[in-house]
Amino acid sequence: MGFLSVAAVSKEFPGARGSAATRALETTDLTVEDNDFITILGPSGCGKSTLLRIVAGLETPGTGRVLLDGAPVARPGPDRGMVFQSYTLFPWLSVRDNIRFGARATDAKANELIGKVGLRGFENHFPKMLSGGMQQRTALARALANDPKILLLDEPFGALDNQTRALMQELLLGIWEADRKTVLFVTHDIDEAIFMANRVAVMSARPGRIKATLEIDLPHPRHYTMKTTPEFSRYKAEITEQIRVESIKAIEMGAA
């Protein structure tokens, strides 16, 4: 049993207006070690976000259970920090107040996090005054404010332009390399999955399950130029083929 244990977890959503139920997540297992960084990849609609939301306590599994540091997960809690793809800041609160909202963070801790995510000088700005990347940096700082046991990220950089996305990847990796916070990161981007992770978990087409995990043996600290190395290309070729197979299955099931 690892630091995070997902054991025989599945999820089915009831159909709307008498339609058939949707089985979003097939019975699946995942073990995450303390200080691990795992990315989850899979075709669209395969249940990546559903799995993450179950770990966060935002969804209840149909079967199975989730344990974090030996304790069962039944509801959201401060031991799990969550960052969503959409910008989820409160528009009427400043950067500092967004970070402190619902957290046990002191002003000193908030200021430390503001510096860590590169927002020094923007403490009193409101979300509408920030770029998308700056809003996600604020959201990341807020997720870290309770010093959670695990950080859960659901395609957090998906809405950003390529340049900002690459900078955010390096920012998050730098924080992980310094603090060794356990991270579970959902993405649809293969390059991002390889660059960020110690292990990549590949999910099957819906109903999704984790069909394979791949160790990423690339050195730290990681620089963006690593994406052009032969080692990186080999990982990308292997994972691209696995995702392609599952994406074709997803399209075929949708056409059936």
Q: What is the pLDDT of residue 106?
A: 80
Reading the block at residue 194, the tokens are: 């390889």
pLDDT confidence tier of residue 255, bands split at 50, 70 and 90: very low
Neighbours of 177 (CB within 10 A): 12
d(CA 59, CA 254): 25
Q: What is the pLDDT of residues 9-66, one digit of tens each?
A: 999 998 877 778 888 899 999 999 999 999 999 888 888 999 999 999 999 999 999 9
Tell if the pTM clears 0.95, that is, is over it. Answer: no
Average pLDDT value over all residues in the chain: 91
Q: What is the pLDDT of residues 171-224, one digit of tens each?
A: 999 999 888 889 999 999 999 999 999 999 999 988 889 999 999 999 999 988
Q: What is the pLDDT of residue 43?
A: 86
Q: What is the pLDDT of residue 1?
A: 59
| Domain locations along the chain | 1-12+23-79+150-234, 87-147
Beta bridge partners of 44: none
Reading the block at residue 24, the tokens are: 């979003």
Amino acid at 114: I
Q: What is the pLDDT of residue 11?
A: 94
Specify whether the CB–CB gap between 58 and 218 falls below 8 A.
no
Q: What is the pLDDT of residue 179?
A: 86
d(CA 102, CA 93): 12
pLDDT of 122 higher than 90: yes
Beta bridge partners of 182: 150
Specify whether the CB–CB gap between 29 and 7 falls below 8 A.
yes
DSSP per-residue letters across 49-67:
HHHHHHHHTSS--SEEEEE
What fold is seen in the domain 1-12+23-79+150-234?
Rossmann fold (3.40.50)
> Which whole number is the average pLDDT over 149-157?
94
